[in-house]
Chains A and B, each alone.
Chain A
Amino acid sequence: MLLAALGTFLCLPSLWAQGNQYLTAEAPEKLVAKRGTSAEAKIAVSIQPNFHVNSNTPSAAYLIPLKLTWTPGTLEPGEVVFPKPRMEKYEFSDEPLSVFTGDFNLIAKFKAPANASQGPGIMLGKLRYQACNNNSCFPPKTVEVRLPFQVQ
């Protein structure tokens, strides 16, 4: 009994992770930007094996795209560069779908305004995705991205 309780306790973190998020985003490295210049942050994203998420440009209007948005802050958000999506065929779809799988990077571009106050800060981002596997789909979810920065 004690063993089972211990095991359940030990097992929970991985089951929790599996049950709640199908995509994880690593905390990006600190972004250093000089006032009046642009800078870009790399965000490493990982999709659970056997799952996919729709790309930023899904194959159909009803599909929910991968989208990164930022809460207004010191830095001005610019373009988000996504990798080239994969076109994959699934059992449930007649046509290949534009998806991301596995590990990939997003590049988020920012501008530090000329009048930005110097010093450290954090930009808060939300990465919204909708995941499926071969026979099920899962409601859209959001992961938070915290980007530390230093304005010089």
Chain B
Amino acid sequence: MSIPRVGAVLLTGFVLGCVIYSWPSAKPVKAASLKPDAERHAAPDFALKDADGKTVRLSDYKGKVVLLDFWATYCGPCKIEIPWFMDFERKHKDQGFSVLGVSMDDDGWDAVKPFVNDIGINYRVMVGNDSTAEMYGGIEALPTTFLIDRDGKIAAVHVGLTSKSEIENGIEQLLQKPAGASGGAGHVSLPAEFVGAR
């Protein structure tokens, strides 16, 4: 094989490989809208302590629509979204909706408690850890927000600062559907699409 031909083969392989690597289905989707029911996977369960030391399990929220927000106190974009989430909690909590915040601060409650108190966050906040992050595909970018349907399945993932209306639109769509609409119970397993996402 001549040198130019080898070069062409390598270049083609490089481009093809990069395209395959970055194909949307291989990593968390920056969803503009909700995933179709058939494409949703169960959100992994977790057990984390809230500020009062009470254990919070995702499975406790089965039957509700959940906005699960991974954030940190040092994250400016997260701080834009938090007041929106407080607003969603106020507006939709009586419809079977809850916001859960998982802080990824290395300093844990020392950093998180003062912030939560200053802002007056009206939803449950927990401090996460590496294993929680791994369960959700190895959360790297903050904020990362998951919308979970009433069956405990991940209906949308927003990586980075997203528009308020886009998130709220997703919540409202999910609230309109009763449990069981996306098929199957919200059993706990690792969604294949998040494995090795980063």
Interface 9-residue window, one of B31-39, B71-79, B88-96: B71-79
Of all chain A residues, the one with the shortest Cβ separation from B143 is: A136
Of all chain B residues, the one with the shortest Cβ separation from A97 is: B76
Docked Cα-Cα span, A7 to B12, in Å, equals 7
Q: Which of A10, A92, A93, A130 has the most CB of B within 10 A?
A: A92
CB distance from A52 to the nearest CB of B (A): 11
Does B154 touch A at the CB level, under 8 Å?
A: no
> Assuming the A-B contacts A11-B14, A19-B140, are A139 and B73 also in contact, with contact meaning beta carbons closer than 8 angstroms in the complex?
no
Q: A138 touching B140 by the CB < 8 A rule?
A: yes
CB distance from A81 to the nearest CB of B (A): 24
Q: B17 touching A7 by the CB < 8 A rule?
A: yes
Listed in ascending order, the chain A residues whose CB lies under 8 Å from chain B are 2-12, 15, 19, 62-64, 90-93, 97, 130, 132, 135-140
Q: List 15 A-B contacts (CB under 8 A).
A: A6-B17, A7-B14, A8-B20, A10-B17, A12-B21, A63-B74, A91-B161, A136-B161, A137-B72, A137-B74, A137-B76, A137-B77, A137-B78, A139-B72, A139-B140
CB distance from A21 to the nearest CB of B (A): 12
Q: Which of A7, A64, A97, A130 has the most CB of B within 10 A?
A: A7
Count of CB-CB pairs between chains A and B under 8 Å: 92
Q: B77 touching A132 by the CB < 8 A rule?
A: yes
Q: Which of A64, A91, A135, A139 has the most CB of B within 10 A?
A: A139
Docked Cα-Cα span, A132 to B143, in Å, equals 11
Of all chain B residues, the one with the shortest Cβ separation from A62 is: B73
- Identify which of residues 68-112 in chain B touch chain A, using a CB-to-CB cut-off of 8 Å: 72-80, 104, 106, 111
Does B3 touch A at the CB level, under 8 Å?
A: no
> Assuming the A-B contacts A92-B79, A93-B76, are A136 and B17 also in contact, with contact meaning beta carbons closer than 8 angstroms in the complex?
no
Of all chain B residues, the one with the shortest Cβ separation from A63 is: B74
Docked Cα-Cα span, A138 to B70, in Å, equals 11
Q: B142 touching A139 by the CB < 8 A rule?
A: yes
Q: A4 touching B17 by the CB < 8 A rule?
A: yes
CB-defined contacts of B160 to chain A, threshold 8 Å: 135-136
Does B181 touch A at the CB level, under 8 Å?
A: no
Docked Cα-Cα span, A91 to B160, in Å, equals 12
CB-defined contacts of B72 to chain A, threshold 8 Å: 137, 139
CB-defined contacts of A8 to chain B, threshold 8 Å: 17-18, 20-21
Does B51 touch A at the CB level, under 8 Å?
A: no
Q: A10 touching B159 by the CB < 8 A rule?
A: no
Q: B10 touching A92 by the CB < 8 A rule?
A: no
Does B1 touch A at the CB level, under 8 Å?
A: no
Q: In the complex, given contacts A92-B76, A137-B142, what are 13 additional A-B residue pairs having Cβ atoms less than 8 angstroms apart?
A: A3-B9, A3-B16, A4-B20, A7-B15, A7-B16, A10-B14, A15-B21, A92-B79, A92-B161, A132-B77, A136-B77, A137-B75, A140-B74
Which of B16, B17, B20, B74 contacts A62 (CB under 8 A)? Answer: B74
Does B46 touch A at the CB level, under 8 Å?
A: no
CB-defined contacts of A130 to chain B, threshold 8 Å: 74
- Identify which of residues 111-158 in chain B touch chain A, using a CB-to-CB cut-off of 8 Å: 111, 115, 140-143
Docked Cα-Cα span, A64 to B72, in Å, equals 11
Does B183 touch A at the CB level, under 8 Å?
A: no
CB-defined contacts of B16 to chain A, threshold 8 Å: 3-4, 7
Docked Cα-Cα span, A5 to B74, in Å, equals 39
> Assuming the A-B contacts A64-B74, A137-B75, A137-B78, are A10 and B10 also in contact, with contact meaning beta carbons closer than 8 angstroms in the complex?
yes
